[in-house]
Amino acid sequence: MGGYSVLDHLWGGWWRGPGVCAARKVGRFGTEARHQMHPRGSSKRSRSLRNQPFPGQLQPENLSREELIDVLRASVVDQKGKPGELTLFSVLPELSQSLGLGEQELQVVQASGKETSGLVLLSSCPQTASHLQKFFVHSRRAQRPTATYWAVTDGIPATSEGKVQAALKLDHVDGVDLVVPVKSPSRKDVLEGVKRTLSHFRVVATGSGCALVQLQPLTVFPSQLQVHMVLQLCPVLGDHRYSARVGAVLGQRFLLPAESTKPQRQVLDEALLRRLCLTPSQAAQLPLHLHLHRLCLPGLRPRDALIELLAPLPPYFSRTLQCLGLHQR
């Protein structure tokens, strides 16, 4: 199977609109069943992770037009099949020229939320894109996860692993589009846009009142994973949109009404701020700690093993794990 490429959104940052953000080329992969991408100079970076609050965070709005093209071109991990115009949510046409591609349009096959780091899958071949989309749809129907995320949560889930099921809808609250849970949705609700969603979670490590959690969505809905973790009373670190829905009295957490709770900057307790070596103003700019770590793709032939793509964590994410003593097993 040819014609797909991967852009690696590694070092964090986010768009103020649709798009992708990445720092540099990580490596290439062939046709083996498993591919691990290792950033160069990681030992040097690890020694300096504590020198800045969010190391490696990239903000595209601070780049010039030419710099942004260079960043995106350097983010291409692998390029296969016929050359085509590299586009990702209306990416600049100059990017195609800088890559030396032709005029065939590159399609977005798989992408996470705009604030989420990790992998973005592109295809320059319509047949390949269709084949991959069918693979993802069939996998979801069979409840076989193809995407694995890492998340750091403020709070520890009550159980070490399980699933979160919730009916969700998009709602317009005080001028902001938000995802809102729906209790006992009717058939009319489903017809009007309410979707039943499902995610698996597994706690990988705990420390300082936080957790490193592996998340595997089995449905697709905007902000699904953030909202699911809020329903577990453990919002994702850096979630400045939904974390305000979790209140606390005398150390006991509870859910506030989603329809009447306005988004606000995430508030962290003093002990956690000290562990993260952050001031309250720095914590207000904390990036979302949700990373698309792994994607599984079908092999090149029907009986081939699945291709597994892995993206290393952004430096700010690794720094947080170090500060909190969260060690992957």
pLDDT of residue 72: 61
The series of mean pLDDT values per 10 residues for the chain, 329 residues long, is 38 28 26 36 44 61 67 54 42 52 68 83 79 93 95 97 96 85 89 93 96 97 96 97 94 92 93 95 94 92 88 93 86
pLDDT of residue 104: 60
- Which backbone phi and psi does 222 adopt, to 5 degrees? -55, 135
Note whether 149 and 291 are within 8 A (CB): yes
Q: How far apart are CA 255 and CA 245, in angstroms?
A: 6
pLDDT of residue 173: 74
Map tokens 């829905």 to a residue: 245
CA 240 to chain centre: 15
Tokens of 9: 């959104």
pLDDT of residue 156: 96
pLDDT of residue 13: 29
- Cβ neighbors of 45 (< 8 A, separation 6 or more) are 39, 55, 56, 315
For every residue of 152-167, DSSP letters joined together read EEES--SSSEEEEEEE
pLDDT of residue 201: 98
For residue 128, give Cα distances in angstroms to 56, 131, 138, 146: 33, 5, 15, 17
Q: How far apart are CA 60 and CA 197, in angstroms?
A: 32
Q: How far apart are CA 111 and CA 121, in angstroms?
A: 6
Total-model pTM: 0.75
Q: Which one-letter DSSP state was computed for residue 128?
A: H
Report the 10 Å Cβ neighbour count for 154.
Answer: 25
pLDDT of residue 320: 96
pLDDT of residue 159: 96
